[in-house]
Amino acid sequence: MTTLETKINQLKGVSKTLISRLRKLEIETVRDLIFYYPYRYDDFSLFLPIKKLEPGITVTIKGRLELLANRRTSRKRAMLTEGLVSDETGSVKILWFNQPWISSSLRQGEEYYFSGKVVGDMFDLHFNGPEYKRADLATGNQASIVPVYSLTQGITSKQINLLVKSVLEVIDKIEDEVPEKVFAGEKFPSFNSAVKEIHFPKDKNSLASARRRLAFDELFPLQVRSRLLRKKLEQATAYKINFFQEETKNFVNGLKFNLTGDQKKSAWEILKNMQADQPMNRLLEGDVGSGKTLVAALAMYNVALNKFQSAIMAPTEILAHQHFKTIKKFFGSSGVRIGLNTSAQKIIDDHEVDRAEFLKACSSGKIDIIVGTHALISEDLKFKNLALAVVDEQHRFGVEQRKILKEKSKNHPHFLSLTATPIPRSLALTVYGDLDISIIKEMPAGRKKIVTKIVESNKRHLAYQFIAEQIKKGRQAFVICPLIDPSDKLGVRSAKEEFERLEKEVFSEFKIGLMHGRLKSKEKEEVIKDFSDGKIKLLVSTSVVEVGIDVPNATVMMIEGAERFGLAQIHQFRGRVGRGEHQSYCFLFSDSMDPDALTRLQPLVETQDGFVLAQRDLEQRGAGAVYGYQQSGMAGFYLKIADLKDIELIKKVREAAEKFVEENDLKDYPLLKKKVDNLDFSDHLE
Ligand code: ADP
Ligand code: MG
């Protein structure tokens, strides 16, 4: 008996070649096959007489094949298969390129259905490479919606679809992980018929409701997980942080600038949140340069006034140093004591100390704010009373970090994640549903727009001229490359190669620097220091500069191989310039021959709004690519069908999940529990 676990090679009539090709698509079992959903559909449901055909439409016709012949085209020597189809209303040409076998699988004089796109103009209308089926073999009207699967060489969508058909009865036996009662009162089709509909759509409407049902099924476990995490945190205890209003006001008045409205609002949300004795779990979103660090500093200041400790964790040493500097500047003479802890260096206030001394100062509560890298969660670092943990530029605390930090403290610390990747609301609701969110949309006054241009490859020398002029005026510049080392295959520029070339051939009169992730941390620090001090005029780097480097004197960001980065990521690069008083520029270059590669980047030219860019990025590349679940420990989570733009559905699922969690114990639903637990970025929920 065939089940979900049956191997494809045990199915009857599947050739060895097909099996090995399916393996390339990671289809090894019937389960893999059934859940290998089409990625799009050709809609051939429009059925027309030939007379009614127009260029541009996708349509099905039924007609007699009058003529059929192969010939070589004069240009390019392609093989062309040409035919003529007629019905009572007229006739139309059909063409296939380089598929000569088609002429032997079709017979003149027979009647067929042809489905495809009509191209040409009024005077020369034809079908280009249509699908076909003999009319006498067709069941019912052949006009239909045809699934298209993402494929590897040598497999057709038809083959996959036929194979699914051969295991159709297995689909009926699948048990949905989401309990049926969740759907009570909804007009969704059953899970099983929805899965069938996905492979064998009847019509547009039933396909749409099948997709809705399956989208619901994908989103539900995520929402249940969020709900449970929230509940768990509500039951945990945190240190209560009183809001020292006077002191906070004085602190703010001592700054050289006024807070933006959004900074005030976010700080207020955070401070209010920390007054409770349940742990805060909050995300602070704001574009590069919007002043998140300051907001976090206000929170840490109040924690210090309450005689508790805070830690702020940065993803890189560079960024940890930067924060240490900034935070020290903020706190100047306030009496708050600050420590820096990276694996390479420990500093308390202005003095470098050894490891033992640092550990002692931390565990005895002598340091109020500890800035660091992952070294913060190293085992031997103990806190006296950690009340607030801030993570910068990382989408959120990983399970492990959360656990470790919690173990370092008697109570559960309040958590604050800072991110410059603007997360569209729909995604926030889906993936970060367990978090509260504060948003800074307003930029500090006086920030200039960064002039952004997509530049053709052959004008690279003009960009170099421009950079040289800027450097002569005293400014600095970045050149970003997608790779560290040269690679023949990809044809993309590498940092090392560009560095050498630019140093020798283009900017020999200036000092230029090289930066990439494989440098030792001491070397990195030196490069950053020399760049910050203005010794290095031009810095060639890989994407490691994406976060953290704050050199207000830098005015040009030139990006090579820009098509290889996402919009949100380029926006981050761009945020490295325009941080000072000088007009700044961002130039996007690509060696790609693909014209789409460059048009994809156009939104960067049109807007500087990180939220808009994040949304576009999401549409272009999908959530997984944009938000790097893999890296942030969110492997196992991806959405095949659910559309993150569909806020309405997401809200609906969220409500259903809330209700479900209130009224049920997950333990009674083992299938769902397994699914939720396997969203392996989640805390374990037992
Ligand atoms: P983010 O972390 O959001 O990218 P930062 O907190 O590093 O931004 O702030 C960027 C720069 O702007 C810092 O030099 C900071 O001191 C400054 N800054 C922060 N808030 C304001 C403000 N309201 N007005 C002017 N400058 C500000
Ligand atoms: Mg920052």
The rounded Å distance from CA 288 to ligand 2 centre is 7
* Tens-digit pLDDT profile for residues 487-515: 766 678 889 999 999 999 999 999 999 99
Domains, the chain: 46-143 (2.40.50.140), 451-607 (3.40.50.300)
In the numeric block, which tokens belong to residue 642? 């659910």
The answer to whether residue 480 scores a pLDDT higher than 90 is yes
Classified as helix, coil or strand, 127 is: strand
Pocket lining: 542 vs ligand 1, CB cutoff 6 Å: no
Atom of ligand 1 nearest to the CA of 552: 14
The answer to whether residue 450 scores a pLDDT higher than 60 is yes
Atom of ligand 1 nearest to the CA of 392: 2
pLDDT of residue 185: 81
Tell the residue nearest (CA) to atom 10 of ligand 1: 289
pLDDT of residue 633: 33
394: nearest Cα among 283, 315, 290, 510:
315
The rounded Å distance from CA 516 to ligand 2 centre is 20
**Beta-strand relationship, 476-480 and 554-559:** parallel
Q: In Å, what is the CA distance from 234 to each residue of 58, 112, 113, 221, 414?
A: 55, 65, 62, 20, 12
pLDDT of residue 489: 65
Q: How many alpha carbons fall within 13 Å on the CB side of residue 641?
A: 23
Please identify which residue in the block is written with the tokens 């290889």: 564
Q: Give me the long-range contacts of 589-596 (CB less than 8 A, separation at least 24).
A: 589/455, 589/457, 589/460, 589/463, 589/558, 589/559, 589/560, 589/561, 589/562, 590/454, 590/457, 590/560, 590/561, 590/562, 590/563, 591/457, 591/491, 591/492, 591/493, 591/560, 591/561, 592/561, 592/563, 594/563
Confidence of residue 684 (pLDDT cuts 50, 70, 90): very low
pLDDT of residue 42: 85
Cα radius of gyration (the chain) = 30
Confidence of residue 556 (pLDDT cuts 50, 70, 90): very high
In the numeric block, which tokens belong to residue 7? 């191997």
The rounded Å distance from CA 51 to ligand 2 centre is 63
Pocket lining: 444 vs ligand 1, CB cutoff 6 Å: yes
Pocket lining: 424 vs ligand 1, CB cutoff 6 Å: no
> 199-222 as b/e, with b when 16 or more CB fall inside 10 Å?
bbbeeeeebebbbbbbbbbbbbbb
By most ligand atoms within 8 Å of CB, the mutation choice from 257, 258, 260, 608 for ligand 1 is 257
Tell the residue nearest (CA) to atom 20 of ligand 1: 291
Are the C-beta atoms of 285 and 437 separated by less than 8 Å? yes
The rounded Å distance from CA 337 to ligand 2 centre is 21
Pocket lining: 260 vs ligand 1, CB cutoff 6 Å: yes
593 vs 197 pLDDT, higher one: 197
Where are any strands of DSSP class E within 5-152?
A: 40-43, 58-72, 79-87, 90-97, 111-121, 124-128, 131-134, 145-148
The answer to whether residue 527 scores a pLDDT higher than 60 is yes
* Tens-digit pLDDT profile for residues 83-108: 999 999 999 999 998 888 888 889 99
Tell the residue nearest (CA) to atom 19 of ligand 1: 291
Tell the residue nearest (CA) to atom 26 of ligand 1: 444
DSSP string, 554-567: EEEEEETTGGGS-H
By most ligand atoms within 8 Å of CB, the mutation choice from 256, 293, 298, 553 for ligand 1 is 293
Pocket lining: 291 vs ligand 1, CB cutoff 6 Å: yes
602 vs 144 pLDDT, higher one: 602
The rounded Å distance from CA 258 to ligand 1 centre is 11
Pocket lining: 419 vs ligand 1, CB cutoff 6 Å: no
Portion of the chain with pLDDT greater than 90, in percent: 50
The rounded Å distance from CA 295 to ligand 1 centre is 9
DSSP annotation of 132:
E
68 vs 431 pLDDT, higher one: 68
Ligand nearest to the CA of 266: 1
Average pLDDT for residues 470-486, to the nearest whole number? 93
pLDDT of residue 230: 85
Atom of ligand 1 nearest to the CA of 287: 3
Tell the residue nearest (CA) to atom 24 of ligand 1: 444
Pocket lining: 422 vs ligand 1, CB cutoff 6 Å: no
Pocket lining: 513 vs ligand 1, CB cutoff 6 Å: no
**Beta-strand relationship, 281-286 and 414-419:** parallel
Tell the residue nearest (CA) to atom 17 of ligand 1: 291
The answer to whether residue 408 scores a pLDDT higher than 80 is no
DSSP annotation of 390:
E
Ligand nearest to the CA of 440: 1
Atom of ligand 1 nearest to the CA of 326: 16
Atom of ligand 1 nearest to the CA of 288: 4
521 vs 324 pLDDT, higher one: 324
By most ligand atoms within 8 Å of CB, the mutation choice from 294, 313, 532 for ligand 1 is 294
422 vs 542 pLDDT, higher one: 542
Angle at 536 between CA 535 and CA 538, to 5 degrees: 150
* Rounded-to-integer distance, Cα 212 and Cα 649, Å: 8
* Tens-digit pLDDT profile for residues 558-613: 999 998 888 888 998 998 998 888 999 999 998 877 777 788 899 999 998 887 88
Angle at 571 between CA 570 and CA 574, to 5 degrees: 85
The rounded Å distance from CA 257 to ligand 1 centre is 9
493: nearest Cα among 596, 397, 562, 435:
562
Tell the residue nearest (CA) to atom 15 of ligand 1: 291
Q: How many alpha carbons fall within 13 Å on the CB side of residue 457?
A: 12
Tell the residue nearest (CA) to atom 6 of ligand 1: 291
The rounded Å distance from CA 291 to ligand 2 centre is 7
